[in-house]
Amino acid sequence: MDGMIQFTITGVENVLEFISEVHNEVLEGDEFWHFFNEEEEGIFLRCSEDFHLPLGKWLVENSYTYTREVYKEDNPIVSSFSWYFKRIFHLNAMMAKEFYLELFIKNEDTFKDHTQWQKDYVKSIWVGAITERLSHCFLNNLQEYTHRYKKQSNDRFGDDKAWESYVLAEIIIGRSMWTGMRKAYLDAKERKENNDTNQER
């Protein structure tokens, strides 16, 4: 993804509050900025080259810890459609920011008497609804290339109307496998670090 600088920022407690603030203070004029919340690794915040100096300055002034590098895309799908993904990633980030502001800042009084569980439940309903719309719209555009899923649906239910569910189920299974492999990797890494520390003692 050409022309993007990635900041890896650690120690942020409320990610969307932070993203909203940094957008308003620094990145409002950047049409391609976006972020990924990678939890234990930190926030991957990417901006256009023209914005990386003011962003770095703002992070220092606000006592955030970060590293900075020129971003190099290594995902072949993203690289093949980089023009589109650059804009999709930006719009996803903007939607997440607006979701946070609209639901829990602008309408704060609506939820002031709710328990944390109730607030989290409302958030999950909205996240599910937005995700469903995003996935459905894209899959709808591509359905003439989904014959395998339509056949699965037809074989199981007698018609092909459930084909979207098969696509999403395959994605869920794939993501679950990736999550399991990543957890195994992180657990092995932690064990190795603990063993190395014990040997040093």
Q: Domain holding 61: CATH number?
A: 3.30.70
CA atoms within 13 A on the CB side of 101: 12
Name the β-bridge partners of 7.
Answer: 45, 68
The lowest-confidence range among 102-111, 147-156, 176-185 is 102-111
User: What's the whole-number mean pLDDT along residues 100-125?
Assistant: 73
Tell which wins on pLDDT, 145 or 70.
70
Q: Residue 59 falls within a domain, yes or no?
A: yes
Give how many domains the chain has, as a whole number. 1
Q: Residue 63 falls within a domain, yes or no?
A: yes
Q: Residue 68 falls within a domain, yes or no?
A: yes
CA distance 67 to 10: 9
What pLDDT, in 10s, does the model give residues 146-157? 888 888 888 888
Q: Residue 132 falls within a domain, yes or no?
A: no
CA distance 163 to 184: 32
Q: Residue 122 falls within a domain, yes or no?
A: no
**Residue 69 structure tokens:** 């590098």
The lowest-confidence range among 15-24, 136-145, 191-200 is 191-200
Determine the pLDDT at residue 24. Answer: 94
Q: Residue 146 falls within a domain, yes or no?
A: no
Mean residue pLDDT of the chain comes to 88
Instruction: Grade residue 145 by pLDDT with cuts at 50, 70 and 90.
Output: confident
Going from the C-alpha of 51 to that of each of 2, 85, 145, the distances in angstroms are 14, 19, 40
Rg from Cα positions in the chain: 21
Determine the structural domain holding residue 19 and report its residue range: 4-106
Name the β-bridge partners of 46.
Answer: 6, 34
Q: Give me the residue label for tokens 């994605």.
A: 171
Instruction: Grade residue 27 by pLDDT with cuts at 50, 70 and 90.
Output: very high
Q: Residue 99 falls within a domain, yes or no?
A: yes
Tell which wins on pLDDT, 113 or 52.
52
User: Which helix (H) or strand (E) element contains residue 182?
Assistant: helix 163-200
Q: What is the DSSP letter of 169?
A: H
Instruction: Grade residue 111 by pLDDT with cuts at 50, 70 and 90.
Output: low
Instruction: Grade residue 108 by pLDDT with cuts at 50, 70 and 90.
Output: low
CA distance 85 to 51: 19
User: What's the whole-number mean pLDDT along residues 47-62?
Assistant: 97
Residue 14, classed as helix, strand or coil, is coil
**Residue 177 structure tokens:** 């496998």
* CA of residue 36 relative to chain centroid, distance: 4
Q: Residue 19 falls within a domain, yes or no?
A: yes
